[in-house]
Amino acid sequence: MTADTRPAVVWFRDDLRVADNPALDVAARTGRPVVCLYIRDDESPGVRPLGGAARWWLHHSLTALAAGLDDVGARLVVRSGPAEAELAALIAELQPAALYWNRRYGAAERRIDTAVKASAREAGIEAESFGANLLFEPWTIRTGSGTPFSVFTPFWRACLSAPAPRKPLAAPQALTAGPSVDGLTVDDLDLLPTRPDWAGGLRETWEPGERAAHADLDRFVTDALARYRDDRDVPGVDGTSRLSPRLRWGELSPHQVWHAVAGARDRDDAAANSAATFLSELGWREFAHHTLFEHPDLATVNIHREYDSFPWPRLHPSVLHAWQQGRTGVPLVDAGMRELWRTGVMHNRVRMVVASFLTKNLLIDWRRGEEWFWDTLVDADAANNPFNWQWVAGSGADAAPYFRVFNPELQRTKFDPHGDYVRRWVPEWDTGDYPEPIVDLGESRRAALAAYDTVKKAG
Ligand code: FAD
């Protein structure tokens, strides 16, 4: 009898890392040759096509993943097309013994994964999925009566009393590469902008990939964590971790981040308060993903359906453009929108302010803002993005009440008192060349509250 040398296939998706990758770890432990696979399947039915900034990140992160796999003896096979069909073709070609992947939580993606698992098992292939990208699987955190939480504080309390997140797994030392199969190059995926190449600001700001992600995490824990609680709301200070794209693409797992921060907390009293605040931000990421799991239409449908009757007026497209381009005449809003366009991220405090300004002062449907962020953020995330838009708009889970309209001028004087942040992104702000606001902040606030009365009556 000949030895069974059939390979194990690891299907990478939102987990572009070699370390703490349960699917890769299990494949390595089988001792079988390993075939590492990435499929660009964002044009599959129901799957939301990636935005431009996300595509840029993916290109570079895949390139880094291929190099990381090469270091441990494996090769990344890249394909493009509907995942089910691509996997069926690869299975026919390779006759693998096993297929492993780490879970994702969007509805279309789950549907695809369930179908793939069923057809692989039917073909006699071991098919297993693993929890890797959340600290707590959505179906494990439940209220006393077995329902999902809709309010953050009790949700996070329940998470903290659940079994603690497991320790990160080490990267496999050496893999046996599987048989060579045809694939595309990362370039063939056509992810980078060419005409025009607008990604200069992203290149200046980021180095995608697992190695750089670990350097960012180390730097944050060593230099900034102890001051996080005080600095996190000040956009002019580099006071937050900037790990959101790392988590979005899975260059880091939340387990790695959790243990790095919890370890610092246990070693150093000065970091303790900040660590609890920081970990609860990871908690919001969990809450957003659990909410997506329960509300698959999070990006398009109000969680609180009474908001369906909100009378969004029809505004001239130039108003939305002014917001997108950072030309509203409201300094903190313009600074945020320009930071976003240039760097692919925006400070959290400012994200809340620009979202409130769009949905309340400009009375533009939150979905238009969500779509713009989806296209321009490198951390654009199917859970965090719509969840937070609905939170600001008032229609979401544990949302800010609609009548809480951020005053962007008060926010600026409170959180950017010396104008460091605004001046960095809007250099013309105090030169006399800066326009008046496109809306009167007081009047537009009153109009928003009047519109909200319709929702209250519907509720
Ligand atoms: P830190 O303060 O260092 O926080 C650590 C991590 O916690 C973050 O990397 C992130 O993974 C998580 N986190 C922090 N705040 C939140 C939050 N409110 N909701 C969910 N997770 C959070 N975050 C995204 O990752 N992708 C998005 O598409 C996204 N869209 C947003 C849209 C709006 C309108 C708003 C108000 C917020 C949005 N956020 C989104 C949440 C938040 O602004 C970013 O996660 C944060 O600014 C990233 O910076 P950081 O990594 O330095 O955060």
Which residues are registered as beta bridge partners of 8? 34, 98
CA gap 135, 159 in Å, rounded = 9
pLDDT tens sequence across 166-194: 999 999 999 999 999 999 999 999 999 99
| Ligand 1 atom closest to 244 (CA) | 9
Q: Which two tokens stand for residue 149?
A: 């939480």
Q: Which residue has the tokens 């990435």?
A: 38
CA gap 388, 57 in Å, rounded = 21
> CB atoms < 10 A from the CB of 314, how many?
6
- The pLDDT assigned to 2 comes to 59
Enter the DSSP assignment of 376.
Answer: H
Separation of CA 137 from chain center: 17
Show which residues are catalytic.
Answer: 281, 284, 312, 348, 366, 389
* Nearest-10 crossing angle of helices 52-71, 210-219: 100
Q: Which residue has the tokens 């190449």?
A: 197
Do 77 and 33 meet the contact criterion of CB atoms below 8 Å apart?
Answer: no
Cα 413 to averaged position of ligand 1 atoms, centre (Å): 23
Cα 29 to averaged position of ligand 1 atoms, centre (Å): 35
From the CB of 255, is ligand 1 less than 6 Å away? no
Regions of the chain with pLDDT less than 50: none
Question: Best of 229, 277, 278, 281 to mutate for ligand 1, by most ligand atoms within 8 A of CB?
Answer: 281
Which residues are registered as beta bridge partners of 10? 36, 100
Q: Which residue type sits at 205?
A: T
From the CB of 288, is ligand 1 less than 6 Å away? yes
Q: What's the farthest any 2 CA atoms get from each other in the chain?
A: 85
* Nearest-10 crossing angle of helices 254-267, 272-294: 160
Cα 22 to averaged position of ligand 1 atoms, centre (Å): 25
Enter the DSSP assignment of 171.
Answer: P
CA gap 210, 188 in Å, rounded = 22
- The pLDDT assigned to 245 comes to 98
Concatenating the DSSP letter of every residue in 229-270 gives HHHTT-TTS--S---HHHHHTTSS-HHHHHHHHHHHHHH-GG
From the CB of 352, is ligand 1 less than 6 Å away? yes
ipTM score over 0.90, yes or no: yes
- The pLDDT assigned to 459 comes to 66
Q: Which residue has the tokens 């077995």?
A: 146
CA quadruple 67, 72, 73, 75: dihedral, nearest 10: -40
Q: Which two tokens stand for residue 455?
A: 């929702």
> CB atoms < 10 A from the CB of 187, how many?
11
Cα 265 to averaged position of ligand 1 atoms, centre (Å): 21
From the CB of 257, is ligand 1 less than 6 Å away? no
Ligand 1, atom 14: nearest CA belongs to which residue?
A: 281
CA quadruple 383, 386, 388, 391: dihedral, nearest 10: -120
